[in-house]
Chains A and B, each alone.
Chain A
Amino acid sequence: SQQGEEDPQALSIQEGENATMNCSYKTSINNLQWYRQNSGRGLVHLILIRSNEREKHSGRLRVTLDTSKKSSSLLITASRAADTASYFCATDNSQGGSEKLVFGKGTKLTVNP
């Protein structure tokens, strides 16, 4: 069953602008991860944020997590054409010790040069 839902489904921006993608989920989680997928390639892990963390940074990436709203956001600052990709959030399920990671539908980001 789908756990995460990203919005927007598609986002087109100019190089240098910031891109914000949101993810909402339904059940309690232990961790939330963000992945990037370039066309025709596998997924690349970006950031893992634990349920007791509120914000995490990695280079130009900033992830926030609000467990009360069951939502997360991924901010990419000063975007580049190379950031063009699909971005997925993925969550586990804290109930029942789930070993599964469930991916949201993804946001397709296009950064125009």
Chain B
Amino acid sequence: DTEVTQTPKHLVMGMTNKKSLKCEQHMGHRAMYWYKQKAKKPPELMFVYSYEKLSINESVPSRFSPECPNSSLLNLHLHALQPEDSALYLCASSQDSPGGYQPQHFGDGTRLSIL
């Protein structure tokens, strides 16, 4: 079992739908991340939150909208996605400093399919 919980595990949506991915951790971590991972590829960073403030947006299209309602929760709101957005979306957290200074703890991801 991982300490970072992501829901749902699988999501199929049409290109006109609006949905949200959720991520929760109760380790008291203050840095949280969204990654996108395509099959047989490494994770690619999308967003970084540090102390509930967005600190990095890797030029992600506006159809992806992150939100950090509190220190334990991270959401990714999806709207008008494209088929190429189909991927595994991973959430991660680290104790306080974003980046490489501390280990990141990953959830098992949401596998997203866009029809």
Knowing A100-B45, A104-B42, A105-B41, the reply to whether A41 touches B108 (Cβ < 8 A) is yes
Contact with B along A74-92 (1 / 0, CB 8 A): 0000000000000010111
The answer to whether A42 touches B99 (Cβ under 8 A) is no
Interface size, chain B (Cβ < 8 Å) = 27
Query: How far, in angstroms, from A88 to B92 measured CA to CA in the complex?
Result: 15
Query: How far, in angstroms, from A105 to B4 measured CA to CA in the complex?
Result: 24
Partner of B56, one of A29, A41, A90, A99: A99
The answer to whether B43 touches A92 (Cβ under 8 A) is no
Select from chain A the residue with minimum beta-carbon distance to B108.
A42
Give chain A nearest CB distance to B47 CB in angstroms. Answer: 11
**Chain A residues in 8 Å Cβ range of B101:** 30-31, 92
Q: Does B66 contact A (CB under 8 A)?
A: no
- Pick 30 A–B contacts, CB within 8 A, sort by A: A31-B100, A33-B100, A33-B103, A40-B111, A41-B108, A41-B109, A42-B2, A42-B4, A42-B108, A42-B109, A43-B106, A45-B103, A45-B104, A48-B102, A88-B42, A91-B100, A92-B100, A98-B99, A98-B100, A99-B50, A99-B56, A99-B98, A100-B48, A100-B98, A100-B99, A100-B100, A101-B45, A101-B104, A102-B45, A103-B42
Which chain A residues have a beta carbon within 8 Å of chain B's beta carbons? 29-33, 35, 40-45, 48, 88, 90-92, 98-106
